[in-house]
């Protein structure tokens, strides 16, 4: 089955490019030079009458092909994270009282079926490990500092779940940082905690915490193999 990009490419090729190549309008390259100019040029070359339409059409086709390549590249940049083609992407589907987060994994990309490498975050000073659970598919760690907590999760892809977040008392959004990493964020206004979901195209990571959003996002960036 074709993916969305293949279908979009085909549609673009069938609709936009033929419109560019439309030959219904011809370009008039006729220009009347002065007699003195024509006289000078006739001494350099023999003036012959040649059909102009073929040249015009070839030029039009060349420009159209170049333009179509630019159009396709520019449009793909809008849909693929500024030119990047990630193996993992996300879509938020709004429901009546919740948002379902669909994690889209490239079928042609290899993902480890089990946890082969454990990743970690650099948690702030003063936090201690309060819970550490793991199996072959997931790792859960909870760090605490008095009433503050940081929960860090690592999961294999594709996940066997569709995360669902409250949208009546929460804010859900997707954004891309300066390193072209895409994050799904959820803020629960009632319980005042943030949840951040992202991937390195190998595993899925989820961080939830009741500290501020900026610190939460900073914790996600230096994710590394333990």
Share of the chain above pLDDT 90, in %: 35
Q: Is a pLDDT exceeding 70 seen at residue 173? A: yes
Q: Is a pLDDT exceeding 60 seen at residue 14? A: no
Sign of CA dihedral 111, 113, 118, 121: positive
- Say how many Å lie between the first and final Cα of the chain, rounded: 38
In whole angstroms, give the CA distance from residue 161 to residue 103: 9
In whole angstroms, give the CA distance from residue 63 to residue 40: 32
CB 197 within 8 A of CB 191: no
Between the alpha carbon of residue 22 and those of residues 11, 55, 64, 212, the distances in Å are 17, 15, 10, 56
Q: Is a pLDDT exceeding 80 seen at residue 222? A: no
Taking the C-alpha atoms of 162, 167, 170 and 176 in order, what is their torsion angle to the nearest 10 degrees? Answer: 60
**Beta-bridge mates of residue 141:** 132, 152
pLDDT digits (tens, 9 = 90+) for 194-219: 999 999 999 999 999 999 888 898 99
pLDDT of residue 157: 93
Q: What share of the chain is helix, strand, coil (3-state, %, to 5)?
A: 25, 30, 40
Q: Is a pLDDT exceeding 90 seen at residue 119? A: yes
Two tokens at 143? Answer: 């760090």
pLDDT of residue 23: 47
pLDDT of residue 225: 80
Say whether 162 sits in a helix, a strand or coil.
coil
Q: Is a pLDDT exceeding 60 seen at residue 84? A: no
- The predicted model gives 92-109 an average pLDDT of 89
pLDDT: which is higher, 42 or 187: 187
pLDDT: which is higher, 50 or 5: 5
Q: Is a pLDDT exceeding 80 seen at residue 59? A: no
Tell me the whole-structure pTM to 2 decimals.
Answer: 0.62
pLDDT of residue 180: 86
For residue 172, report the phi and psi dihedrals to the nearest 5 degrees.
Answer: -120, 135
- The predicted model gives 27-51 an average pLDDT of 49
pLDDT of residue 148: 95
Q: In what order do the strands lie in the sheet with 164-166?
A: 88-94, 98-105, 164-166
**Beta-bridge mates of residue 129:** 143
pLDDT digits (tens, 9 = 90+) for 122-168: 988 999 999 999 999 999 999 999 999 999 999 999 887 788 888 88
């Amino acid at each position: 089955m074709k993916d969305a990009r293949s279908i979009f490419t085909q549609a673009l090729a069938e609709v936009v490019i033929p419109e560019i190549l439309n030959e219904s309008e011809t370009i008039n390259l006729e220009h009347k030079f002065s007699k003195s100019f024509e006289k000078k040029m006739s001494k350099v070359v023999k003036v012959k009458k040649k059909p102009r339409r073929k040249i015009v059409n070839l030029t039009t086709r060349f420009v159209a092909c170049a333009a179509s390549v630019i159009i396709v590249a520019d449009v793909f940049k809008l849909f693929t994270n500024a030119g990047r083609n990630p193996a993992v992407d996300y879509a938020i589907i709004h429901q009546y009282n919740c948002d379902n987060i669909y994690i889209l994994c490239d079928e042609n990309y290899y993902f480890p079926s089990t946890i082969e490498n454990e990743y970690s975050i650099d948690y702030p000073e003063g936090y201690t490990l309060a819970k550490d659970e793991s199996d072959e598919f997931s790792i859960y760690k909870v760090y605490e500092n008095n009433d503050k907590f940081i929960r860090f999760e690592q999961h294999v892809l594709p996940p066997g779940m569709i995360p669902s977040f409250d949208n009546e008392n929460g804010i859900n959004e997707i954004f891309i940082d300066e390193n072209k990493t895409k994050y799904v964020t959820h803020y629960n206004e009632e319980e005042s905690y943030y949840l951040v979901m992202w991937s390195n195209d190998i595993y899925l990571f989820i961080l939830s915490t009741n500290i501020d959003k900026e610190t939460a996002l900073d914790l996600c960036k230096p994710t590394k193999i333990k």
